[in-house]
Amino acid sequence: MTLPLAGIRVLAVEQFGAGPWATLQLADLGAEVIKIEDPSAGGDVGRYVPPFQEGEDSLFFETFNRNKRSVSLDLRHSRGHEVFLDLVAAADVVFSNLRGDQPRRLGLTHEQLRDVNPRIVCCSLSGFGMTGPRAAEGGYDYMMQGLAGWMSLTGGPDEPPTKSGLSLVDLSGGYVAAIAILAGLLQAGRDGAGCDCDISLFETALAELMYVGTWAATKGYVPERQRNSAHPSIIPFQNFRTADSWIVVACPKQKFWELLCDVLGRPELVSDPRFLGFAARDAHRQELLAILDQAFARRSTAEWLEALAASGVPSAPVNDVTEAFLDPQVEARGGIVEIEHPRLGTVRQVATPLRVGEESKPLRPAPARGEDTAEVLVTLCGYSRDRIDELEASGVFGAAVGASSR
């Protein structure tokens, strides 16, 4: 295999969503990701998230942990940390998603590990970062959506503050951490020295305010929530109710607005002084939307999609998740993959969007807790069977090495 990250080894002290999402990207690109699971906590809490959960397996856990290996190891045990250092010597990356004060307490920073491995890249993904007054606080996606102002932007004008339908701060934080790790690896390869990457969910959420953040920070802009998921300043760029469902129509360029007027059978709107250009349409938003609402309500979604596609106006149906999977583009590009799981049967997942080169990694189900402990320690650290048995007896691994609940 010549996958982009083949030969890269990541030790991941991770659980739940954001952290495992970060290392999933690396695993799908060919990296060897070894989950370090805490035996005292029953491993990654994602194993126990309902629904669709049996024993220590769940579809939630499968989503974030395919193509990884699992080592059961108590890092708070003095001998457990010794084992961890032996693993660090054979690794390229140490990743964690804990509270910001925990990596240093557990000895997971570059400063603490560089004597073992000068090239090690250490990445912490936490709620608030490793410094500052909130460093010791836990942070979760929903909290960040509220704290960073996202909820104030989401929902209709007369609705309460609303979160996104997905855990977008967690997912974005995972992507940011993966990018930081790749940058750290490039630096280590260039300079021969690793580094720390200090990634914060809060800062990720703030960064994703994008232009709204710039408007607010520069001009004191206070966003107003618009109905039907409308863009704050570009009209039309939102959902519209049709005769039978909903449609998304986007006119981020003047040419699309002019084409839309032709499709609607209202060419005179192009030259209407109220709607000449972005600023005018924004200033007369309500007048324009009254016209468009009435027009779109006259035909079905299918009819509008056909007409808009023929004219080149960007548009899409408002699908539910199952309908999204039925789009012919999904089948054409292999958007759903299947993995056989020893307990859960055939697990169907969304394929990675990371299409780099011609090859893709053969898919393996997420590991049972600790199933790779013995093999990893023998292969990477040169441990004997006797030494593993002795460490097991000391409680370093929790339950028996390689034990599986499957």
Q: CA-to-CA distance for 215 and 219, rounded, in angstroms?
A: 5
Q: CA-to-CA distance for 21 and 62, rounded, in angstroms?
A: 11
Give the residue from 155, 157, 171, 88 showing the smallest Cα distance to 381: 88
The CA R_g of the chain, rounded to the nearest whole Å, is 25
| Count of beta carbons in the 10 Å neighbourhood of residue 237 | 20
With beta carbons less than 8 A apart as the criterion, state whether 69 and 367 touch.
yes
- 3 state SS for 257-297: HHHHHHHCCCHHHHHCHHHCHHHHHHHCHHHHHHHHHHHHC
Active-site residue, from 170, 196, 198, 372: 170
With beta carbons less than 8 A apart as the criterion, state whether 88 and 120 touch.
yes
Let me know how many helices (H) and strands (E) the chain has, helices first: 18, 13
| Count of beta carbons in the 10 Å neighbourhood of residue 348 | 10
The C-alpha angle with vertex 72 and arms to 66 and 75, in degrees rounded to 5, equals 120
315 φ, ψ to 5°?
A: -160, 160
Give the residue from 95, 96, 86 showing the smallest Cα distance to 117: 86
With beta carbons less than 8 A apart as the criterion, state whether 50 and 66 touch.
no
Please name the amino acid found at residue 113: L
Annotated catalytic residue 170: yes
- Which string of DSSP letters, residue by residue, matches 291-336? HHHHHHTTS-HHHHHHHHHHHT--EEE---HHHHHTSHHHHHTT-E
Would you put residue 398 in left (φ > 0), alpha (ψ -120 to 50) or beta?
A: left
Q: Which residues are catalytic?
A: 170
